[in-house]
Structure 1
């Protein structure tokens, strides 16, 4: 039997704590139906016997305090909301215990932006981490020594698991059940809770927001120029000439500050413009492609799929306003 400690962190969402508790507990019911003993002992483990959530909107009672848990097998770090820097400070008392448990071979299951707290412990240093696309820039600024993966919703590295994208943490829990108990149990949980087990990427849901908290004024001006002119046709040399700067130097500065090459940035802005038209407009896909400055339809389709994992027609089917 594995002991699961769900941490009721300050600024955590009640839904992520409760749903984690329900899913782990429900797995025990599945085992019972199969004539097998329970696999998880699930407890809410906190600093105090009672913790405030969402600025006092909810109170949660813990089963035990961290002082009472000498050893646990799985630590669940819930999804956080609000000010992440403030949340890190408020949850500092958990840090030493989490590190000690990990050093004692506990697995850490981190739900979405709970990764801000986990990163603050130092346990993610030089490791991969999935984060929600909307906080990627903030996370990078706070923790530059962590490798963000934005092409998957789950990472698995040395007993630390992270997930990116809101309720995609449910997919992470299915992943954990499969690792512990096999594919059959994971599929059963998927069916019972109606979670799409095949969801692997948050790319279809991403709204591109360029990293602008870098302090390089020329790079910022170039970003704003690109964003204000999504339908125009220009290349890297055009951008460099506009701002009177050498190509090699500027490409290096742009990549360093935005985590995108100039070409990628132009492509992302055009894809974002196309997505908006696909969602709300009535133009044909070819008309939209021409509108945003592409003459090669096949080339744009490849670029679009690169950033969204979908073809333009599939994107329209998925997100168009009817």
Structure 2
């Protein structure tokens, strides 16, 4: 069997970010091909060489007092196969100025053939460098609106954990650093190496959708009192089947005028708004109690539980059962909380 080449991974360390967005990729790439083998008394077959760098080569600080010293500086890296850019704090304007030297460095290595991955808000550095123009990308759901407005040429997909477009990868959220790292291990070394790495570290294989984790408002802020009345009506009658005409009558408007006003105020058409409202209500129920899925489906207005399951998965990226398993209290998930004997 042909021996697999060892790939070079460069993980950038930046001040004021969450250290896990850099450390998790270091540990995953370092473990691929080695940890599973070590645990099974087999000869290690490292798939990657991992280096950490900072802009100057000096230590970087985290917002919670942790200091990390890299191996070297950006300028010392002549070539690399993979670059990981972590998150670096929420003040994006300040951070883009502080870390401006990173931008031409990313462009140079991308032009040389490197895969470049931005973790969480690290995607902003790829966008600021112009690498993401016209390409699909993602970021954390809570900052996606800011990045969408700042970089309108990017095809943002805030519903996804991991995106890849022309060797440019992005991941949404802090622990999506795990997802994008395992994704690259699988892509470049195959499923078996990635699976063994995940099992050795007790990690799940890469997640794709982050929709189920988002806490997004059903409606955008607005001052239309007539539409607010309709929203309040829908919130207290979300299980009822109501027509657009019924809602228009409630607002005291003609049907076409109502639809136009409703979309302008909320950002959604009435049917889509009600659908989103029902899914949010279902998520809340799944998070707090152990009602059967059929009962929750009926309570939010869907007598056809198969349709409800399909709709829920399409919107959140998870089945109702999976959502409950992720977010409900231990007792509700069917797993009793640990108690010492």
TM above 0.5: yes
Deviation at 1:108, TM superposition (A): 0.4
Displacement, 1:198? 5.7
Residue number among 81, 96, 111 corresponding to 2:104 in the alignment:
96
Question: Which residue number in structure 1 is paired with residue 236 of structure 2?
Answer: 231
Match of 2:14 in 1: 9
CA distance in 1, matches of 2:234, 2:252: 15
Q: Aligned to 1:246, which of 257, 278, 291?
A: 257
For residue 277 of structure 1, what is the aligned residue in structure 2? 285
User: Alpha carbons of 1:70 and 1:223: their partners in 2 closer, same or farther (altered >3 Å)?
Assistant: farther
The answer to whether the 8 A contact 1:171-1:197 is kept is yes
Gaps of 5+ in 2: 1-5, 332-341
The answer to whether the 8 A contact 2:60-2:68 is kept is yes
Would the alpha carbon gap of residues 44 and 230 (structure 1) be closer, same or farther in structure 2, given more than 3 Å must change? Answer: same
Partner Cα separation in structure 1 for residue 183 and residue 30 of structure 2: 16
1:111-165 deviation digits (Å, cap 9, x = unpaired):
2232123222221111111222333323323222222224532211111111223
DSSP 3-state at the match of 2:101: helix
C-alpha RMSD of matched pairs (Å): 3.4
Task: Give the match for residue 199 of structure 1.
Answer: 207
Contact 1:48 1:62 in 2 (8 A): no
Partner of 1:119: 127
Corresponding position of 1:29: 34
Q: 1:230 to 1:286 in 2, by over 3 A?
A: farther
The answer to whether structure 1 residue 159 and structure 2 residue 167 are counterparts is yes
For 1:21-64, what per-residue CA distance to the aligned partner results, in whole angstroms no more than 9, with x for missing partners?
22222236359866576443321122112243334723222222
Between the two proteins, the alignment pairs up a number of residues equal to 316
2:235 is paired with a residue whose SS is: coil
Gaps of 5+ in 1: none
Q: Confirm or deny: 8 A CA contact 2:312 2:318 kept in the other structure.
A: yes
In the alignment, does 2:74 pair up with 1:69?
Answer: no
Give the superposition deviation at 1:77.
Answer: 0.7
1:145 matched residue in structure 2:
153
Indicate the SS of the match to 1:303. Answer: helix
Higher helix fraction (1 or 2): 1
Give SS of 1:166's match: coil
Rounded Cα–Cα distance in structure 2 between residues aligned with 1:137 and 1:222: 23
Q: Which has the larger radius of gyration?
A: 2
Label 1:89 to 1:211 Cα distance change in 2 as closer, same or farther (>3 A).
farther
Report the alpha carbon displacement of residue 97 of structure 1 after superposing the two structures with TM: 0.9
Moved more, 262-271 or 225-234: 225-234
Q: What is the TM-score when the length of structure 2 is the normalising length?
A: 0.77
TM-score calculated relative to the size of structure 1 = 0.81
